[in-house]
Amino acid sequence: MTLQSSDRSSLRQTLKPGLADPIFDAQSVFRAALLANAYPGRAITLDRTLDAPQPLNSSTGLLCLALMDFETPVWLDQPTAASAVPNWLRFHCGLPIAAEPAVARFALTTDTANIPRLHHFHPGELQYPDRSATVIIQLPALTGGPETKWTGPGIRKSATVSLAGLPSWFWSDWDLNAEYYPLGVDVFLTSGNALIALPRTIKVEA
């Protein structure tokens, strides 16, 4: 779907704003995402905030605007798709909305009770494993949940992570995701104005 100039003008008046400084803000959030990937399990607080449209929190909205563009179809879960978020993302990022998780480069879920099973997302291709989906899961908190032990690249010995709100099946699905390596999805977990990266290389004991 392409927005005409008149449509864009109308949307500009009704949608929430995006990044205050699209270049430098996006660079700052991108660096934070890289840092999170370098140190999986570590909560990284963003140095920007954003009044994103509901149901997105600040870190989720910032991550979307920093990572997504016209070449990255995104799949949205039902509560997010039914909100102002699709038009907000189209306006600020120019990206297409994917109808199915399997064809999306990014997936965004804010309803933790109804996260699709991980095998529904695109795991990449043997020639291009980097074309797999990145799944952004918005949680009520990045602490206070069941303890898990993370090991792998970027973690010295192990890290204890206690994410709140993930479904009971998530970690067994994560074990299956690891069996696809070098294919498989990567995950960002967001809450408030912070995020944690969960690359496919990380093993988790739940």
CATH number of the CATH domain containing 126: 3.40.50.11310
Q: At what angle do helices 85-93 and 58-67 cross, to 10 degrees?
A: 40
Please report, as a single letter, which amino acid is at residue 64. Answer: C
Q: Say if 101 falls within a structural domain.
A: yes
Q: Say if 13 falls within a structural domain.
A: no
What pLDDT is recorded for position 13? 55
Residue that the structure tokens 């095998």 belong to = 119
% of the chain exceeding 90 in pLDDT: 93
Q: Say if 11 falls within a structural domain.
A: no
Q: Say if 127 falls within a structural domain.
A: yes
Q: Say if 200 falls within a structural domain.
A: yes
**pTM across the whole model:** 0.92
Indicate if the alpha-carbon torsion angle 109, 114, 119, 122 is positive or negative: negative
Per-residue pLDDT tens digits for 85-131: 999 999 999 999 999 999 999 999 999 999 999 999 999 999 999 99
Q: Say if 130 falls within a structural domain.
A: yes
What pLDDT is recorded for position 8? 54
User: What is the tally of structural domains in the chain?
Assistant: 1
- List the domain range (segments joined by +) for residue 185: 19-205
Q: Say if 9 falls within a structural domain.
A: no
Rounded to the nearest 5°, which phi and psi values hold at 39? -130, 70
